[in-house]
A and B are shown apart, each in its own frame.
Chain A
């Protein structure tokens, strides 16, 4: 071993032996995991997406169940078509000069309501009341609240004139009763 090697060795030991003898070792620095942020965001995003999807699914299920309870069919179009057809029939049955299809539609609604009553009650009283209310609404609509649906709407405007309406009302007792009944709401 040359002099330079011996000197190098002794100098290295002089400087580095205290390092080797140090009593404490610092804690190892934890590496920043590369995917940590992505994992956190991904996890939160995934959870949020799951919650949103769950919410949408629950809402869709609720609408479907409520619709089925109301119409007796899972297909919401079914009940709408039935109602439309029945309203048209009721209108066709009206004699000239008669107004209001409330009773006619009400009877149909009651039949349907009884048919799905058990299921409707199962899903809450509100649906049952909704059927009841729809009967009233049908009567009201027949009296001109919905001018688009009722071909006699123009006549009803004239019926709002107290003088013109008094002659016709006695011929249609159900209309009279429905007109006089204040809205439940």
Chain B
């Protein structure tokens, strides 16, 4: 019986899933939920949105579950979907912010969410300001421990693109943080 508390242990274990099997998808959900949520927390504005995006990720994945190919990593496939969900959320958020700005003209903006403040740090705030694809590359590399090659496979992009995204992200972080 595996321990799903240790991300590395989950990552190193070879999990086999059958495409289209609802029971296997449920197992995949239990095995990967925390890691997908962790990725999304760094990509979207707060934890509540991250949880919603995580559920959206699994909804999208479930719709395409029968088309998933067992040759590729299921978790990497989920990460790709999660990053797309985060990008969609950013677009929607920009639209929402424009609408809210119009609505609250002349009124003071509401204060920050206390729950969100606890998770804030300058670095993570800078990370959230990066383009989503760059931030995702950083999280996959420095939190989940993927290699550039694995990130490339997960996102279906060339390995060189991963390297350039990581380099651009680091450069921007240094600029934002003044280091």
A22 contacts partner chain B, Cβ-Cβ < 8 Å: yes
Interface size class of B (residues with CB under 8 A): 20 to 34
Chain B interfacial positions (CB closer than 8 Å to A):
5-7, 26, 29-30, 33-35, 37-38, 41-42, 51, 55, 58-59, 62-63, 119, 121, 123-124, 127, 138-139, 142-143, 170, 173-174, 177, 179
Residue of A whose beta carbon sits closest to that of B29: A28
A38 within 8 A of B: no
Known A-B contacts A7-B123, A21-B5, A28-B26; A12 and B37 likewise in contact (beta carbons under 8 Å): no
What is A's interface to B at a CB cutoff of 8 Å?
Answer: 2-5, 7-9, 11-16, 19-22, 25-26, 28-29, 31
Query: Roughly how many angstroms separate A21 CA and B38 CA in the complex, as a whole number?
Result: 11
Known contacts A2-B170, A20-B5; A12 and B34 CB within 8 A of each other? no
Nearest Cβ on chain B to A35's Cβ, whole angstroms: 13
The CA-CA distance from A20 to B35 in the complex, in Å, is 7
Complex interface: chain B residues within 8 A of A29 (CB): 55, 58-59
Q: How far is the CA of A5 from the CA of B7 in the complex (A)?
A: 20
Among A11, A12, A22, A26, the most chain B Cβ lie within 10 Å of the Cβ of: A12
Q: How far is the CA of A82 from the CA of B16 in the complex (A)?
A: 82
CB-defined contacts of A12 to chain B, threshold 8 Å: 42, 124, 139, 142-143
Q: Is the CB of A8 within 8 A of B138?
A: yes
Determine if A19 and B38 form an interchain contact, defined as CB atoms under 8 angstroms apart: yes
- Whether A25 and B5, one on each chain, are in contact in the complex, defined by CB atoms closer than 8 angstroms, is no
Which B residue sits closest to A7, measured CB to CB?
B123
A20 adjacent to B170 (CB under 8 Å): no
Give complex CA distance A21, B62 in Å.
Answer: 25
